Structure 1
Amino acid sequence: MYYDLTKGKIYKSLLLFALPMIAGNLLQQFYNIADTLIVGQVLGKAALAAVGSAYTLMTFLTSIFLGLSMGSGALFSIYQGKGEDKLLKLSIIHAFVLIMLITVILNVAVYVGIDGIMHFLRTPEDVYEGMRTYLIIIFSGLFATSLYNFFSCLLRALGNSTAPLVFLAVSAVLNIGLDLLFVMVLSMGIGGAAFATVISQYVSGVGITIYVLKTRRDLYPERSQLHFNKNILKEIANLSCLTCLQQSVMNFGILMVQGLVNSFGTTIMAAFAAAVKIDTFAYLPVQDFGNAYSTFVAQNYGAGNKDRIRKGTKAAFIMSISFSIVISLLVWIFAKPLMHIFISKKEVMVIAAGIKYLRIEGAFYFGIGCLFLLYGYYRAIKKVEMSVVLTVISLGTRVALAYILSPFIGEIGIWMAIPIGWALADITGIIYMKKK
């Protein structure tokens, strides 16, 4: 189903368009949650720490593809709103070639530099071999991840948020089944968890590619239109590369924090690995709502509906903040049972550290909810550089405070730095929005 977000009731349009995106990304988290849960319960603390640290790295790498695709998607939505079919087709071809080329280059680079990356992350000796094994396998799924992100962003930009959900649902179920088979039945260890994820990624990536090629033949440009267009490439490069930079800076900052966490040893690494999965799952809906809101703004920006954008912005902030407050309360109350899902009850110190993280950082989800809306807004109105500025403020504060506070108050300093960074970025973004 394709939604025209330039028409209809704003609250209803935003919610109906966002729900499949939220459901889809929640399912996507099952890729990593299945690994974490099964690895933590079956293989133990060291294996959990290895998979958790690898997850942070993979999130950073995936953010590059996601940023490029989200930036291109903003341009697709603007052309869709304007009704510029020819420019839409050309922009899709240009963006696809650019993103696939970057994917190949990045894939080669991570294999060549794998040991340097692990040393940068300050990986402990008892985790090193397991994490290296996991990464060598998981890197082979980067191309599939890139395919999925490109075509899912394309479909969402055109108003279809349901089809990506279907492919993720199949992939998530397959991933869980293969995890159980490879790790618990065949005893393939940490490598089995990685193979399960890669196979599932290719199912979703190749599947959605075939779906788009078969169902949207109207997006194929004619032969006479297949030519290099410098202006379109410049537009794509501006939106995609800046969005990619914003996503990459955000996740590179998290990667630096991961290195600091690793320096506290395996117990804190394992606690962080489990807590971050809970954390990501908790605020993922507001992240996807921010992306849905971005498509809403971009389509209306292309159509010139400024008043609708203003009303939609007010509605989006009310909905996001309300949801975030509810989720914060639930995470605060159920922090301990949530940690038990990922780690054995015998690991008392790991669970205690994880609970501290969730109760300090999880109390302020409304901060990250507002920040995702601001990212989406500035991307949609072609001011992606402002998203980069907000990311630098948020992550710069987080990293700096984490390194400053942790020598004095331990890992709690790392957890406290997170909401402070969100707050500073939110204040900056809202002031700029109101003034400009």
Structure 2
Amino acid sequence: MTKSMTSGNPLKLMIQFAFPLLLGNLLQQTYNIIDAAIVGQCLGAKALASVGASSSVQFLVLGFCMGSCAGFGVPIAKYYGANDSDRMRNSIFNGAFLTIVIAVILTTACSLLCPQILHILSVPEDIYQNAYAYLIIIFLGMPFTLLYNYLSSVLRSVGDSKTPFLFLAISVVLNIFLDAFCILVLKWGCAGAAIATITSQAVSGILCLLFILHRLDFLCLKKENRHLRFAPIKELLSMGLPMGLQFSITAIGSMVMQSANNGLGSVCVSGFTAGMRIKQFTMCPFDAIGTAASVFCSQNYGAAKPDRIRKGLWQSMLVAVVYGIVAGLIMIFAGRTLSMIFVGKEAVDVLDASGKYLRCMGFFYWSLGILNVSRMVTQGLGHSMRAVISGVTEMLARSIVSLCFVGSFGYTAICFADQTAWVSACFYIFPTCLYCVHKTTKKLMKQQNVQ
């Protein structure tokens, strides 16, 4: 199922690669929606607020894990595109070592600091216990999250996006059954939702490992590859840490925003949680297109094909922007109705809050297409630190809106924080991406002329 993206129609290849990613993301978000629906409908609006009250810190920590693993995949994709199997396997081994180190450090630190994290987020007292039970289990299960994300990143780097999707599909179906069983049968409440999530992630990670060991011999490590080496570790860290930090820095702004929103009361927390679930669902195509563009450009960078890099950038960005316009219109006109998935129609205040959040966001949703593709292509070409700056821009924009305007404008300020961050980041990352593509293609063309 592996596939080189260094020849053939760029748009067709990226769509073929992105489609399983999209299905996988949609499946994951479908589970998140079902999870939130079960919690909200069966346990009540306060339980839904408990699950959502720490979503920003989950994005910070788990986003660092996912970003780091995605970054570790960039050198693997480059060496796969260059047909350098030995350096590719060296990168896989050293990436696995770094992933284990991250798992140990983050799991220990986050579990010990869980009460302080909830305090920083200003979680209301009436939902604190359930929020703690949910978050501590998510933190303890981080090694399983890292296992799946690293191995799926390895598979995607060599052009296989179908296998991670298939295993994710299995885990999502399992997750739904476990969710219902733990919440409805065992009566474990919010903790049951977290246990179901972690168990399913463990299954998907183990399935990825078994598939690589038994089906993909060229990825299996030889004796000479099983050594820690300074050069691969340095390269992996130069890509993984900035990508992880970019996710986390962005999430810091989300934490400031969520802390400000939590201070507005449980109605705003519930409305924000419902709206955020819908937002995460509609963001799936952006993530799939951005990842496809990143892998495509990275492989063609390794294969020294500058024209394909340029085509990949523009074609993927066009698709992302058109999708953003369509999704934005849906959020504007149907956001409140879609929010009824999570809460009953009698919860008028919560539905109004969710609908307002989605409606305000919908007018600027197209900008997220420019942001995601520009950022991912910049990272795929090896300029991770430049992408981090876009994350800093997002963080500052969200923080400024949350700290300076929520006091005066209340929930309305929360409804405009995300799009302010996206547009602000676009002003930096879009021209930066164009510069990086120009610099990379010029370098490759110069190398070709020398040869």
Shorter-chain TM band = over 0.9
* Alpha-carbon distance, 1:397 to partner: 1.0
Cα distance in 1 for partners of 2:65, 2:304 equals 29
Q: 1:408 to 1:308 in 2, by over 3 A?
A: same
* Alpha-carbon distance, 1:185 to partner: 3.0
- 24-33 or 294-303, larger mean C-alpha shift: 24-33
Query: Residue type of the partner of 2:330?
Result: L
Q: Does 1:353 align with 2:362?
A: no
Cα distance in 2 for partners of 1:104, 1:228 equals 18
Tell me which residue corresponds to 1:313: 313
- 123-132 or 253-262, larger mean C-alpha shift: 253-262
Tell me which residue corresponds to 1:52: 52
Tell me which residue corresponds to 1:128: 128
Question: How many corresponding residue pairs?
Answer: 436
Cα distance in 2 for partners of 1:227, 1:207 equals 25
Query: Residue type of the partner of 2:202?
Result: Y
Cα distance in 2 for partners of 1:279, 1:310 equals 30
Cα distance in 2 for partners of 1:177, 1:332 equals 33
Identity value in percent: 34
1:217-256 correspondence runs (5 A): 217-256=217-256
Whether the 8 Å contact between 1:79 and 1:88 is mirrored in structure 2 is yes
Whether the 8 Å contact between 1:403 and 1:414 is mirrored in structure 2 is no
Q: 1:30 to 1:58 in 2, by over 3 A?
A: farther
Cα distance in 2 for partners of 1:256, 1:285 equals 26
Whether the 8 Å contact between 1:375 and 1:387 is mirrored in structure 2 is yes
Superposed CA offset, 1:211-238 (max 9, x none): 1122123223322343332111110110
* Alpha-carbon distance, 1:189 to partner: 1.7
Whether the 8 Å contact between 1:14 and 1:296 is mirrored in structure 2 is yes
Whether the 8 Å contact between 2:336 and 2:356 is mirrored in structure 1 is no
1:166-245 correspondence runs (5 A): 166-245=166-245
Whether the 8 Å contact between 1:402 and 1:415 is mirrored in structure 2 is no
Using the size of structure 1 for normalisation, the TM-score is 0.97
Cα distance in 2 for partners of 1:150, 1:37 equals 29
Query: Residue type of the partner of 1:255?
Result: M
Cα distance in 2 for partners of 1:255, 1:417 equals 12
* Alpha-carbon distance, 1:297 to partner: 0.4
Tell me which residue corresponds to 1:23: 23
Tell me which residue corresponds to 2:446: none
- 49-58 or 369-378, larger mean C-alpha shift: 49-58
Uncovered stretches (5+) of structure 1, i.e. residues with no partner: none
Tell me which residue corresponds to 2:84: 84
Query: Residue type of the partner of 2:26?
Result: L
Uncovered stretches (5+) of structure 2, i.e. residues with no partner: 437-451
The alignment partner of 1:3 has SS state of coil
Tell me which residue corresponds to 1:62: 62
Tell me which residue corresponds to 2:413: 413
Cα distance in 2 for partners of 1:23, 1:224 equals 37
Query: Residue type of the partner of 1:419?
Result: Q
* Alpha-carbon distance, 1:141 to partner: 1.8
Query: Residue type of the partner of 2:69?
Result: S
* Alpha-carbon distance, 1:435 to partner: 4.5
Superposed CA offset, 1:345-391 (max 9, x none): 11111110111100001222211111111111111111111101111
- 60-69 or 348-357, larger mean C-alpha shift: 60-69
1:248-327 correspondence runs (5 A): 248-327=248-327
The alignment partner of 1:356 has SS state of helix
* Alpha-carbon distance, 1:406 to partner: 1.1
Tell me which residue corresponds to 1:370: 370
Cα distance in 2 for partners of 1:312, 1:114 equals 42
Whether the 8 Å contact between 2:70 and 2:153 is mirrored in structure 1 is yes
- 118-127 or 52-61, larger mean C-alpha shift: 52-61
Query: Residue type of the partner of 2:180?
Result: L
The alignment partner of 2:7 has SS state of coil
Query: Residue type of the partner of 2:403?
Result: Y
Cα distance in 1 for partners of 2:419, 2:3 equals 34
The alignment partner of 1:364 has SS state of coil
Query: Residue type of the partner of 2:224?
Result: S
Q: 1:434 to 1:164 in 2, by over 3 A?
A: closer
